[in-house]
Structures are given as structure tokens and as C-alpha cells.
Structure 1
Amino acid sequence: MTFSWRLCGAMALLAIASSLRSTASAQKIPDAPSAASPADALPAESAPVTVFPHSNTSRFFAAGQTNIIFQADPAFHSPYQGVNSFINRGEYKVSLIGTLYLGMQIRKNPRTETDFLLDFESAGGRGLSEALGIAGFTNLDVVRNPNLGSKPYLARVQLRQTIGLTNKMVEADRGVFNLATLVPERRFEIRAGKMSLPDTLDINSIGTDSHLQFMNWTVDNNGAWDYAADTRGYTYGVVTEYDDKQWSARYVLALMPTVANGIDLDWALRRASGQNVEFESRLPFLRSKGGEERRSVVRLLGYANHAHMGLYRDAINAYLNGTDAVPDITAHERDSEVKYGFGLNAEQELSKDLRVFGRIGWNEGQHESFAYTEVDQTFETGGDFAGSRWHRPLDKIGLAFVTNAIKHDHQEYLKLGGHGFILGDGNLSYGREDILEGYYNLHAWRGFFYAFDTQFIDHPGYNTARGPVIVFSVRSHIDF
């Protein structure tokens, strides 16, 4: 599988042409019933949302997606800049990510299902300012090391085993991470192989997917969760999960990178590992006037990372006593240091079309930010609204606000001129990094979607001397 800018440009043009044809047809056809085929007569909710239909009965599964994001920002106030600053002169960048999802049901028995999953991916383009200078960066698709190039790589390869504890079956959506359409109501699931931890943990149906929802790192994920991953966001691990009717519990053991934001993973589990636990409750809190339950989900997450990390305080002291010319946390790293934290994630359906969600995150903040981004505390709230009222039920409007913070030692380290793997203006006048993001996601035809997104970032990189920054985005997404 290969991806090129020429191919993606052609797909984008095809998407535009298809949507224009669809729009023109809609303008010509009256609202009165017509002699449409049965497929055309299906309501919008039942129309396929992929370019090609997928079988629910075959042992084999194949799907794909392409996501292209154009982002631009105008010039903004900045009295000074450092090597890790968000560039203030204004710029534009395009990112591209394409994925091929493959799967096979090795054992096709709902109670003891065994799935094999294999994904290939290509990530190209670049982020604004090379994805530096903002802790809640504006594009989750961007690889933080652009020197890796766009050569396709193995993103996921894993076995998924279901162990049913009851004969009572419930329906499940067949997709890229699950091939079964029926699963036991009470079951164990074990997954092992290469994965991304947000595939399993901290999931939120309103704020998780940068391809159809928000784009910001700390809106789609809990920014204070420094989850185990290489610079592309993947790791090797084992997931053990128990699912019951109204609750689930998960434990994940995963490999940590050898250095902060590194591409290489440390396979010595005695020295380095990421351990994660999550409890999920699906007890309904609200009901409609007719007595129908409204979907409610609450997830509580805890993690502890063991890795070759440093303490901000050690780097500060070495600089102040003259040992180091500049604060450098990488000069004071030690094996088996522990960074830990917690997260709360909730979502609530208020009506058929309106949903709200929120996240709270905290980590101890004394050890260096190592794998995800430089956030020690985060608070987020937002929601989305479907377009049923204007006869576009697959369209969505989303709005979210997130405020991020770092602890005192982290602040002091940046103020004295230290650099993390994302931040470092050379100085710091500290303030919380506040982000407001809104989008409109438009369903054009089958698997073609377009989105228009705006992000307002106040105090980029926690620096009150710089900004605010406004980032405008246009996204083209295709599900095959």
C-alpha cells in the first residue's frame, strides 16, 4: 500500500465532484415521492457511510480511510521566540494520513471469537510550526517527528480473544477493532500486539475521533494522560478487559519509549512499562419524557509509567548551581522513575441529537512529560449536535473548551530556558493554556465528509506574553 499527494489530491477532487453532483440532484428532485429505487428510498440514517459496502457475515474484513487536513493561522503577537515556539509570522500546512484496515475471524464463534487485526498506515505532510509551541496542539493527525517521512508502516497487529461467560448475546458493531456482530453480554476480552492505547482507553463518542470530530490533541484525548507510545502514537501491549451489562473494567500493560517522544520502544519491562487501569459505568442517569433511557457513560482512568525519565527539580538545581549552562532535563534522567496520574471522562445524551461530554486530568508533574504532550492538569467540556432538524442527520456541529496547566517545577524549568519535546520559548510568563474549538462536519455522499474547524488558543505554550492564536482548518475525510 502506498499513498502519494497526487493520489490524495485525486481522491479529494473526486469527493468534491461527487458532493456537487449530489447537491445538484437534490436541488432538482422535488420533496414529493418519486420512482426512486428501494436503496435510494432509504432514510439518511440507513444510507451507507462508506464508499464500498462491508459484509457482516464474511470471515474477512477490509476497509480504509484517508484524512487530509489543511490548517492556517494569521500572524499574532509575540515579543520573542525560542526554538520550540509556535511561529508567529503566520503559515499554512497540510497533513495527510491514510490507513488500510485488515482483519480475519480465525474462530467465528460469538462466545469464543478469535480475531486477527492488521493495519498499515502512512502519515505525510507537516503540522504548523512542526507541531511545536502549543501543548494542546491543533492537529492530532500530525506525527511529531516529520523526519520519519510518509513511508507506510505497520500501525497495528494484534490478536483479540473473546471468552464468553454467558450464552446471552448482545449486538455489536462490526468495525476495524471488532469483527463480531454478536458478543456475550458478560465476557473477558484479551488483546495483544501493536496498538494505540486510545483505541481502548479514554474513549469518548463525542470527543475522540480527529477524522470526524474535533482535531485538537487535548480535546480528543486527556492531555494529562501521558500514555505509553512511540512518536507516532503506537506501542506493543496487552489489554485485559471484563465486560458486563452496565460496566467494564480494563488493565493495559504497554511498552514505553526509550527517550521522550522517541520512535524506539524499551522492551525491558522490569525497567520501563506503562500500566493503565480503567473502570467504565454505563448506568443511565437520564430518561426521555417517554421513559426511554438516555445514554450515559463515566470512565475513571489511572496510570503509572516507569521509564528512563528526569525530574524538573534536578535540572533546575543543576542550572542554578552552575553545573549546567542551561536547564537540561535529559542530562538528569534515571532508570525506573515513575510518573502517575488520573483521569475522569464522561458523556451524556440529552436528546436524540444533542450530547455533552467532559474530561478532567491530573498527573504528578514532577517528572518530565515523556510520551504524549506537556500537560499536567486539564479540564474540558463540550458537546455536539446532529443536523436532523435541517434534514442532515449525519452532519454534526461540535463545540469544546479545554484549559491546560503545568506544575510549578515544570513552569520554572521553561522560564529558565529549558526545553521539553514540545515547549520552550526561552522564557515564560505563565498562564493557563485555554483553547476553544468549534467545527461543522458535513456528510457529502456515502463515505465522503468535509469539515470546517476553528480553534482559538489563548496563552500558547502557557505563555501570557504570546498570542492569542487563531487556527483555521478544512478537513476532507473518506471512509472506504
Structure 2
Amino acid sequence: MDGQDANRGGWSGRRRLLASALAATCLAPLGAGAADLAAPRPAPAPSYIDWSGGYVGLEGSAGASFGALDFGPTTIGGRTVPAFRTGDATGRSDRGRDATTAVGGLLGGYSWQTGPWLYGIEVGIAGANLKRPVASPAPGFGYEAADPAFSLIRAKTDIYGTLRARLGFSFERSLVYATFGLAGAETRLLASYPDLAGGGAATARRDLSRLGFTLGAGVQYAVTEELALGLDYRYLDLGRSARFGLGTVPGPDGGPVSTRVGFTSHQMLARLSWYPGGLTLPPEPDEAAPHDPAAATSDRVSLHGQTTFVNQGVTGFRSPYRGENSLVPHQAQATTTATAFLGLKLWEGTELYYNPEFSQGFGLSRTLGVAGFVNGEAQKAGAPFPKLRSNRYFLRQTFGLGGETEDVPDGPNQVATRRDVERITVVAGKFALGDYFDGNVYAHDPRVDFMNWSLWASTAWDFPANLPGFTQGLMVEYNRKEFAIRAAYTQVPKEPSSDVLDPRLFRRAGATIEFEERHVLPGLDQPGKIRLGLFSNLGNSANYREVVALTQAGLFGDVNDAAAATRRPRRKSGVYLNLEQALTADLGVFARASYADGRNENLSFTDVDRSVSGGLSLKGTAWDRPADTIGLGATVNGLSPAHRTYFADGGLGLLIGDGRLTYAPERAVEAYYALGLTKALTVSLDYQFVANPGYNRDRGPAHFFGTRLHADF
């Protein structure tokens, strides 16, 4: 019935219309409820994975696990043996250096989950190749004349086993968890006691079955409905054994040997888990990348994180002699970092950031032996256990100058905001100079692109930094659409390769200034940038010519002693040029050239006075893998004449020093393939070839093979 019919029907018609309306209003909820009862709406899908069920998998690493043996006190014939390596005359302990080992094995477990909270149990068994000396010759027992590399006792540990409980929290496609439980291992102690007085040798063996505890934590990410990749850290402590006998030392100073041994281990393992029952993946978020503005926690807070795991090995190469800082053939090492990027907008234009970071592991040869080092995640401050540092804490103030504006997405160390294109930015606190200088879209982040130091940085730029690569000071930038000018004034280390920054900022410091030009290449309509940087550092360093002259004149027996004795405030200056250019939407090229005066010691980065590098980066759109990247780059590094003479006379630098030198430029080639498994997870394969490592024609060439797992959120 329409309105006209109601009017024609008078009051009775209007009454019938009102009654119908009331009836419809009253019955509508009942009808809706009945419909809901008949066809209930599906509950929204959870935003996290339910990891319940059984799983099996593989885990392993080469060079990411470290074992330490606490050996002693040891007695021979009832007399306490001094701890020769540590110089502890009481003989209380001879703690062996942390030894790198490869670990690999099988795992299996079962999990239950309530909401996002997970609990479960897991068992694992792994093989290891921990083989190392734990006790060197001790003075006073006839071994003073023995080879310093000789060890009386060696340890071998082949099998580990763990039974652990897991407690975790699931979010999106990820799981973070903590573990605790039991750990066991089989350790063999092998002893060899030659009678240096002319008698026969004696040997002994002891097998120890050890049971202790393990604690750990990990993260894993579902790549598909059945496969998950992860990183797992665990600490094993097998305690100290009871005193036991270990053969008899022959000769007049000999006698029965007794000792004790303790064992601890830090392990970082990559894991691949298979869930045969399948996992229900949460719906994909709407954003196109992990750091879009829609992913922001709020317009005042930014929270992001990353973890990167690098395994790298080097094959055999020609090595007729070795110095203290030489690259060693036939080895593998691994590094792990995990970083939180915390940001808070205090008020409009003012932001505060803090970056705590855990790191573990070492580069090959303890990050020594190659001037253009091969792992950009390796630190000179490496540790066998996860080490926490506050790498960044800084205040950023932005002064808008009006005109055109731009939206900045939420991301690591960036709260989502809108800012003026023309602006002045001031940063004060602790940061890395590479955060603002010498950037390059194709070669600047060793967590996802090139790993060689001379490809992701201008290596003749000795940027001020502590051992992990950070400094404190002030950075100011003026930005326009066409260009930017930025300058920094920061602390330098107290001396070369020191982890302590010199507090005398107004007497010893580093100054850097960079001009960045932005353009669109004519004819290709593709963007590009050119950066020109100048730097000058005043720090406590030695002069190469001076220390060589003092040593050759006989005033010092060692050139390194001369360097340590003659360090005083000296200046080191240089320049770098940096180019990036897109040729298509998927293909780009880059190039760098850098130069330093090479008269005085380098303070922070590496042993390079001249460097030229370049390469290309290609996205995988052509083979339907737009998230993948192929990179190919090459570099040549060189030294000043005075710097060459210093190394030829046995000098030790920040990274290199073979004890002598037959000079040749250090050349390297790197190729990598980064496979983008998801928006937040990348797995890379990396190969590097280095000719004349450490500028030494007598060494190498060396081939490096690496894998890299990187995840961020």
C-alpha cells in the first residue's frame, strides 16, 4: 500500500498502515534472530597460525656454535700443573678458548595451542665436529721446549641430544618461543705424553657421558602450509665432572695424571620444520609491503624488528705463511643479529628512537684477513654468545620550510608522518654514519644485498665508529626535491680499532659532509643519484713512515711496538663518489670510488686507501619472481706506498697483517641471488672470489660461499 492509498482510506487506512509499520518494527529483530539461528555467520579467522600438532625437521649451522671447555685443575704425579695458557700459577683452571663447530641434526616435537599461546615438547639429536686442544704444555714438567702449538690433551665431542619444553606466542605467520630442558653429550679426551728426555711416549683416553640443562629461544616463520623456517638459539651447560685419571706422564718429572673438565656451549641453528598435518595460514594483511603506513601501530609509535643469520665458508687456498691477522683456509663461521627498532613521536616534528640489538658469532678468521671483508654482518666485536648492545639512541628534529609535502611510511626508525619536502633535519645521539651518508639503493644493506664491505660502502672512507660500527654526535641535513646537503660531527675511537669512543669531542673528532644530487636520466625517464662526500678525522694514530723508520733504525724491535709508542693526535682525510642509476624499473647500476691520504693509521673501518667498485642489480620480474633480486659486483682496493711498507715490515692493521707482504691490489667479485619467499622473509645464496686477500700476492685466491636468512616485521 502506498501513501496515496492510505490517504484515500481516511483514518482507518492510516490505522492499518501504522499497525503494519509497528508489526514490521517489532518482528524485524525476531526475524533477524531466526535467520541468524538458521545460518550463523562464520567467526572471523584468527590473525595468527595455530601451530598445534606434530612436526619433524632438520637443523644445523656451520660456524655458528661455540663450545668452551673449563679444564683443570690438573695434577701430574700429585703436583698441580700451572694453567699454561692463562698464566694462572695456581693451576685452578685452564679455560680453553671458545671453539667454533658445525652442528647438524634431526628434531621432532608436538605442540598444543590455546589462542595465540603455545606449549609443547621437542626432542633433538645432532652431530658436531668439535675438535680442539684444551691443555697446552706446562712449564716445569719437561715440555718447555715443545712446539707452542702442541697440546697434551685434546677433546672431541661428536653427539649432542636435547629434550626441551617450548612456550611460545603466535602472531600472523610467526612464532616466538622460549625453551628449557635437558641436554646430553658424549665427550672423548685424548692425551699424548711424549717423554722429551728420550723415553717412550704414553697415551690415554677417557670417554665421558655428560648430562646437564639447556635454555634457549627462537623464532620461526611459516613459508607454506607445511613448511616453516626458523632460527633457534640454545645454551647448553653440562656442568663439571668429578676428578678422573687420564694416564701417566713418562719420565723423571712424570706421574699419574688426574683432572676435571666442564663444558658449556652456545648454539645458533637454522631450522626447517615440516608439519604433515598442515597449518592454517592467517589472511594476508592488506599492505603491499611490511612497512606500509597501514602497518603503523599508531601515528605516534613505531615498532619493527629484524633478524639476519649468515653462514659463510672459505675453501682451501695457497697459504705459505700466516701472520696474526691472516685469513685461514678451510673454515666456516656464522653471524646472527636480532634488532628492535623502537620509535616515539614526542610532538610534531620531534621523534625519539632506540635500537637494542643482540649479536652473536664472528666473521671468518675472527673478521680478519681481507681488507674488503666478505660478511657485512660480521663485527670486530663478535662474541660466542648473544651479546646485547644499545646500538642506536637518538633524537630527530625536523623543521619544515613549507611548500610541497610528502607522506613517509611507517618503518624501521621512522614513525609514519607527513613532512615538508624542503626541510632541515637535526639528529643528535648515537647512530651509524652509514644511516645518512654514502647510501645506495642497490648496494648498501648487507642484510639483503651485497655482503662485501667494499661493495656496500666506500671503503677508503674511514668513518668514525666503535667496533660494531656506531658513533655519537650530531648530524644536520638540508633537503630539497633536487638535492640534499648533510654534515656530521662525531666521536672517534680512542685509538685504532678501539671499542671506546674518545670523549674529547671538541679536540678529537670526525667531520663528514656530503652533497647528494637527484635527477631523472634523459631518454630513459629513470631516477638516479650522485653523492660526493668529504671526510676528515682527527684521532690518536701513528704515522706509517715514522714507525717504519724507527724500526729500521733499531730503536724498536717490532714495527707494531713503534706504532703503539708513537700514537698522537693526527689527521686523516679523503673523499668518496657514489652513483646509483636505474636503467629500467627492474635493472639498476651503481658505482663507487674513494680515496684517503694513507699517511696515518686508520681508526675505525678497514685497511683501504683507494677503492673502486661497481655492479648491477636486477629484479626477477622477467621470470615471474618480482620479489627476487640478482646482484653482481666487483671491487679493487689499494694501499698508499707508506702503508704497504708498514705491512711488509710486519705491521698489523685493523683487519689484515700477514707478517710480511708481496704487494698486489686486492680484487673481489661477488654474486648473490636473494629469494623473496614472503614479504618479510628473504633467503640468499652468495658467492665471492677474492684475489690477493690482504693485498698479498703470496696468498689466495680464495673462494667464499655463503647463505643468508633475513626476516623483518
* Same fold, judged at TM 0.5 (above): yes
Q: What's the secondary structure of 2:393's corresponding residue?
A: strand
Is 1:409 aligned to residue 645 of structure 2?
A: no
2-structure distance, mates of 1:7, 1:245 = 49
Q: Is the 8 A contact 1:314 1:332 kept in 2?
A: no
Greater Cα offset, 135-144 or 48-57: 48-57
Say whether the 8 Å CA contact 1:15–1:448 is kept in structure 2. no
| Cα separation, 2, equivalents of 1:253 and 1:131 | 28
When residues 107 and 167 of structure 1 are mapped into structure 2, their CA distance, relative to the original with a 3 A threshold, is farther
Q: Measure, in 1, the Cα distance between the counterparts of 2:429 and 2:228.
A: 43
Give 1:343 deviation, angstroms.
0.1
Whether the 8 Å contact between 2:318 and 2:699 is mirrored in structure 1 is yes
Counterpart of 2:708 in structure 1 is: 475
Q: Which residue number corresponds to residue 103 of structure 1?
A: 343
1:120-159 equivalent positions in 2, closer than 5 A:
120-147=356-383, 150-159=386-395
Contact 2:395 2:428 in 1 (8 A): yes
Hey, what's the Cα distance between the residues in 2 that align with 1:135 and 1:64? 30
Which residue is 1:26 aligned to? Answer: none
Check conservation: 1:50, 1:447, Cα contact below 8 A: no
* Cα pair distance change 1:296/1:6, threshold 3 Å: farther
Which has the larger displacement, 325-334 or 461-470? Answer: 325-334
Q: Which residue of structure 1 lines up, in the alignment, with residue 452 of structure 2?
A: 216
In the other structure, the counterpart of 2:627 is 394
Query: Distance in 2 between the 1:125 and 1:38 partners?
Result: 36
Structure with greater Cα Rg: 2
Looking at structure 2, the residues matched to 125 and 326 of structure 1 have their Cα atoms a distance apart, in angstroms, of: 31
Kept in 1, the 8 Å contact 2:291–2:411? The answer is no
Alignment of 1:87 with 2:358, yes or no, is no
1:276 paired residue among 496, 512, 515: 512
Query: More strand per residue: 1 or 2?
Result: 2
CA displacement 1:54-100 (0-9 Å, x = unmatched):
21752111110000000011111111111110002x11111001101
| Alignment counterpart, residue 440 of structure 1, candidates 673, 697, 712 | 673
8 Å Cα contact 2:297-2:303 kept in structure 1 = no
Cα pair distance change 1:279/1:50, threshold 3 Å: closer
Q: Is 2:424 the partner of 1:188?
A: yes
What SS does structure 1 have at the residue aligned with 2:386? coil
TM-score by length of 1: 0.89
Query: What code does the residue aligned with 1:460 have?
Result: P
Match of residue 313, structure 1, among 533, 540, 545:
545
- Give the Cα–Cα distance (whole angstroms) in 2 for the partners of residues 38 and 478 of structure 1: 19
Structure 1, residues 192-219: CA drift from partner, whole Å, max 9, x if none?
Answer: 0000000000011100001110111111
Specify the SS of the correspondent of 1:318.
Answer: helix
Evaluate the alpha carbon distance shift between residue 302 and residue 287 of structure 1 in structure 2; reply closer, same or farther with a 3 A threshold: same
Equivalent residue, structure 2, for 1:460: 693
* 1:382-405 CA distance string (max 9 Å, x none): 010001111111110001001000
SS of structure 2 residue aligned to 1:219: helix
Q: Give yes or no for contact 1:366–1:410 (8 Å, CA) kept in 2.
A: yes
Distance (Å, rounded) in 1 between the aligned partners of 2:580 and 2:336: 29
Q: Is there any run of 5+ residues in structure 2 with no aligned partner, and where? A: 1-175, 180-213, 230-281
- Report the Cα distance in structure 2 between the residues aligned to 1:187 and 1:148, rounded to whole angstroms: 44
**Cα separation, 1, equivalents of 2:583 and 2:409:** 23
What is the CA-CA distance between 1:167 and the residue it aligns to?
3.7
Of the three residues 475, 494, 504, the one matched with 1:239 is 475
In structure 2, the partner of 1:78 is 319
Kept in 2: contact 1:159–1:193 (CA 8 A): yes
Asked if the contact 1:84/1:422 (under 8 Å) is kept, the reply is yes
Match of 1:76, SS?
coil
Give, in angstroms, the shift of residue 259 of structure 1. 1.4
Name the residue aligned to 2:522.
Answer: 286
TM-score, normalised via structure 2 length: 0.61
Structure 1: unaligned runs, 5 residues or longer: 23-36
Matches of 1:162 and 1:151 in 2, distance apart? 33
- The answer to whether the 8 Å contact 1:69/1:476 transfers is yes
Q: 1:309 to 1:149 in 2, by over 3 A?
A: farther
1:313-340 CA deviation, whole Å, 9 max, x = no partner?
1110011100111212533444331000
Shift of 1:146: 2.7
1:330-383 deviations in Å (ceiling 9; x for gaps): 334443310000000000000010000000000000111110000000000101
Q: Provide closer, same or farther for how the CA distance between residues 39 and 122 of structure 1 changes in structure 2, counting only shifts above 3 A.
A: closer
Structure 2 counterpart of 1:54, which letter?
Answer: A
Is the alpha carbon distance of 1:393 and 1:254 closer, same or farther for their aligned partners in structure 2, counting shifts above 3 Å? same
Partner of 1:33: none
Distance 1:340 1:80, change over 3 A: same
The secondary structure found in structure 1 opposite 2:643 is helix
Partner amino acid, structure 1, of 2:671: G
- Decide whether the 8 Å contact of 2:296 with 2:410 is kept in 1: no
Paired position in structure 2 for 1:304:
536
